Structure 1
Amino acid sequence: MDIRQLKTFIAIAEHGTFAKAADAVGLTPSAVSQQVQALESEVRAELFDRSTRPITLNSQGLQMLEAAQGLVRSADDIVDAISGRAIGGTFTIGSVRSSALSLIPRAITELKKDFPDLKIKLHVANSDELLNDVVTGRLDSAMVAEYSGVHSSLRWSPFLREPLFAIAPKGTRPRPAEEMLSDLPYVKFVSRFPLAHIIETEVARSGIVTNVIAEIDTITSVVACVVHGLGASIVPWSALKETSGEVVAVPFGAPQIYRQLGLVERRTSPRAAVIDKLHGYLVSFSGDYGVAR
């Protein structure tokens, strides 16, 4: 098995036929066929369902595809690091569904200017999946909240420490968060994310008695409910950047509660230079709440 075989195999999976894959990798269809036969012989399994037209990957082929993509990416990263050539290949970043997710596209836009030969992909999932994908190499880095379950092979670097605010519909009389949340119907953020736990822990500690009118699993939807007058809620600073003047916001917690977001990466990542640049842009876009490395 060599990298050329794996790249050819990936091309077949992406283009659907041996002929199209041959054009993509600069080989003849017969050479592509020979590489596939050699690969299947080495792994001692057929990788395609040849009864369909066009052919498709079978279960072993799908398993092989995931491994091949990781191996090819790692090989390209190592060559880039050793040779000093312009960084290319694919950089895959993950992110939780966070109100701060809007920072990632802005950072990616700037990153593409620094690394024009680099193809960048964004994958959104939950924290556990993202952390596992970084450990296994399916992701180069991921944006996750401060998390106690980070594997020892990973490094988590915060880029944002943002305060939480109690918010209410426009026109609401400003008053302490405890009063506002007790007096108005409560739009509750419900999820597995650490943010939901932080909020509910402080609500309980403060002795706030809420009248829950809705339970919502995304911060964006929570803010929309408040903007349209459904009730009050608690959200981080990043959720309020686009709602200036649409809600009344007061600090939540005594002292005010903060949460942190950061980038997680493998401690020996060959994409360290790219991740460092990405982190810098995220810090910059976080304004006063950015956390430098």
Structure 2
Amino acid sequence: METRQLKTLLAIQSHGTFAQAADVVGLTPSAVSQQVHALEEELRVTIFDRSTRPPRVTPEGHQVLEMARDILRRAEDTKASLSGDQIAGTLMLGSVRSSALNLLPRALIQMRQRYPALKPSLRVSLSTSLIADVAAGRLDAAIVAEHLGFPSALRWSPFLREPLWLIGPPGMQAVDPIELLNTRPYIRFRSAVPLANLIDTELSRLGVVTNDVAEIDTIGSIVTFVRQGLGISVVPHVALQEPEDLGLSRHPFGSPQVNRQIGIVERTSSPRAEIIGLLHGALSELCGEYGVDRDATS
């Protein structure tokens, strides 16, 4: 098994056909086919079902492709380490669909400018899937909300601790937040994520009965609906960073005001700990007054 064969496999998957992959890796289609056949003979599996057009990856082939990605990434990281350039290679990163996600591109751009040999690879998914992939080594780290039941082999370090706000349209008369929640049309954040549960739990604890006019699964859309006057809602501070949000009415949500945390989960013995620490620092800095220093959580 050679790395050039593994690179060819990934090119076929990415580009769909042996011919297109051949152009990418600089070989003839016949040479690409020979590489795949040799690898299938060595592993004693069928990687591509050639009876379809384009060829379809078999179940065994998916396992081989996952192995190929892991081997090539480890080889790249080892070369970077041996050359003395630790801030290099590929950082396999996951993230939940959080309102804090808008911080991540800015942090990754900063990292790329400071460390041009570092190549981030991002996947957005659900927290349970991301946590499992970090534990299994398929991801180096993931950005997830505070979560119950992290495996003991993982470490979660918050970079953001922010308040939740009860928001209303511009010009809404300031009254008691409990009265607002009981009397005004309410836009509910409905999603299978910790933030939604955090908000609903506090609403229940406060004993309010909301007059729901909408259920929406993205915080950004909720802010837009509130801005246009449909109703009131509860959102995290990081969701209110656009200039047009400055005019929204804001009241502390909860008694005392509820906070939520977002952080990075990684393996406790991660070989990418230095890079993950730098990313944590960049994210914490972008969070401003609500950023959490990594050393403070160790």
Query: Taking structure 1 as the reference length, what is the TM-score of the superposition?
Result: 0.91
CA distance in 2, matches of 1:123, 1:134: 12
Bigger shift: residues 35-44 or 256-265: 35-44
Q: Alignment partner of 1:123: what SS?
A: strand
Q: Report how far residue 88 of structure 1 moved.
A: 4.1
Q: Per-residue displacement from partner, 1:231-258 (whole Å, max 9, x unpaired)?
A: 1111110111114333100111121110
**2:291 corresponds to which residue?**
290
Give the aligned residue type for 1:273. E
CA distance in 2, matches of 1:203, 1:217: 17
Q: Alignment partner of 1:143: what SS?
A: strand
Q: Report how far residue 208 of structure 1 moved.
A: 1.7
Query: Taking structure 2 as the reference length, what is the TM-score of the superposition?
Result: 0.89
**2:5 corresponds to which residue?**
5
Q: Alignment partner of 1:13: what SS?
A: helix
Q: Alignment partner of 2:172: what SS?
A: coil
**1:251 corresponds to which residue?**
252
**1:203 corresponds to which residue?**
203
Q: Tell me, yes or no, if the aligned pair for 2:186 and 2:210 is still in contact at 8 Å.
A: yes
Q: Per-residue displacement from partner, 1:249-290 (whole Å, max 9, x unpaired)?
A: 011112111010001112232222221111111101100000
Q: Per-residue displacement from partner, 1:59-109 (whole Å, max 9, x unpaired)?
A: 322232122212321332233234423644432322111111110011111
Give the aligned residue type for 2:237. W
Q: Tell me, yes or no, if the aligned pair for 1:226 and 1:232 is still in contact at 8 Å.
A: yes
CA distance in 2, matches of 1:129, 1:237: 26
Give the aligned residue type for 2:168. A
Cα distance, 1:153–1:81 mapped onto 2, change above 3 Å: farther
CA distance in 2, matches of 1:88, 1:20: 29
**1:103 corresponds to which residue?**
103
Q: Report how far residue 54 of structure 1 moved.
A: 4.7
Query: Unpaired segments of 5 or more residues in structure 2?
Result: none
Give the aligned residue type for 2:134. V
**2:79 corresponds to which residue?**
79
Query: Unpaired segments of 5 or more residues in structure 1?
Result: none
Aligned residues: 293
Q: Per-residue displacement from partner, 1:162-221 (whole Å, max 9, x unpaired)?
A: 001111111111123212211211111111111111111111111222111111111112
Cα distance, 1:12–1:88 mapped onto 2, change above 3 Å: farther
